[in-house]
Amino acid sequence: MNARQFFDKVALMRKLQKEYFRTRSKTALNQSKAVEREVDAEIARVHDALGTPATKQPEQRNI
Protein backbone atom coordinates (compact mmCIF):
# COMPACT_ATOMS: atom_id res chain seq x y z
CA MET A 1 0.00 0.00 0.00
CA ASN A 2 1.44 3.38 -0.93
CA ALA A 3 1.03 6.61 1.02
CA ARG A 4 -1.99 7.76 -1.03
CA GLN A 5 -3.76 4.43 -0.58
CA PHE A 6 -3.07 4.55 3.15
CA PHE A 7 -4.42 8.10 3.36
CA ASP A 8 -7.56 7.08 1.48
CA LYS A 9 -8.03 4.03 3.73
CA VAL A 10 -7.70 6.14 6.89
CA ALA A 11 -10.14 8.71 5.49
CA LEU A 12 -12.62 5.90 4.77
CA MET A 13 -12.10 4.51 8.27
CA ARG A 14 -12.92 7.89 9.84
CA LYS A 15 -15.99 8.27 7.63
CA LEU A 16 -17.26 4.85 8.72
CA GLN A 17 -16.52 5.57 12.37
CA LYS A 18 -18.48 8.81 12.18
CA GLU A 19 -21.33 6.99 10.44
CA TYR A 20 -21.40 4.41 13.23
CA PHE A 21 -21.46 7.02 16.00
CA ARG A 22 -24.16 8.95 14.17
CA THR A 23 -26.42 5.93 13.51
CA ARG A 24 -25.21 3.19 15.87
CA SER A 25 -25.97 0.70 13.09
CA LYS A 26 -24.48 -2.78 13.24
CA THR A 27 -23.55 -2.58 9.55
CA ALA A 28 -21.59 0.64 10.05
CA LEU A 29 -19.84 -0.87 13.07
CA ASN A 30 -18.82 -3.99 11.16
CA GLN A 31 -17.58 -1.96 8.19
CA SER A 32 -15.66 0.35 10.49
CA LYS A 33 -14.00 -2.55 12.30
CA ALA A 34 -13.04 -4.22 9.01
CA VAL A 35 -11.31 -1.09 7.72
CA GLU A 36 -9.65 -0.51 11.11
CA ARG A 37 -8.16 -4.02 10.87
CA GLU A 38 -6.80 -3.18 7.39
CA VAL A 39 -5.23 0.03 8.68
CA ASP A 40 -3.75 -1.79 11.69
CA ALA A 41 -2.34 -4.51 9.41
CA GLU A 42 -0.69 -1.90 7.16
CA ILE A 43 0.83 -0.14 10.15
CA ALA A 44 2.20 -3.47 11.42
CA ARG A 45 3.55 -4.29 7.92
CA VAL A 46 5.42 -0.98 7.73
CA HIS A 47 6.82 -1.42 11.24
CA ASP A 48 8.09 -4.86 10.22
CA ALA A 49 9.59 -3.52 6.98
CA LEU A 50 11.35 -0.69 8.81
CA GLY A 51 12.42 -2.88 11.69
CA THR A 52 10.82 -0.54 14.19
CA PRO A 53 8.87 -1.81 17.15
CA ALA A 54 5.15 -1.19 17.07
CA THR A 55 4.06 1.06 19.89
CA LYS A 56 2.02 -0.74 22.48
CA GLN A 57 -1.31 0.86 23.29
CA PRO A 58 -1.63 1.83 26.94
CA GLU A 59 -3.78 -0.51 28.94
CA GLN A 60 -7.11 0.94 30.01
CA ARG A 61 -7.82 0.43 33.65
CA ASN A 62 -10.95 1.02 35.64
CA ILE A 63 -10.58 3.83 38.09
| Per-residue pLDDT tens digits for 32-51 | 999 999 999 999 999 999 99
Core vs surface per residue 19-57: b (16+ CB within 10 A) or e = bbeeeeeeebbebbeebeebeeeeeeeeeeeeeeeeeee
- pLDDT bin (cut points 50, 70, 90) of residue 53 is confident
pLDDT of residue 28: 96
Render 23-60 in DSSP notation, one character per residue: H--HHHHHHHHHHHHHHHHHHHHHHHHHTPPPPPPPPP
Residue 7 CA to residue 3 CA, distance in Å, equals 6
What is the residue-averaged pLDDT of the chain? 92
Question: Whole-prediction pTM value?
Answer: 0.78
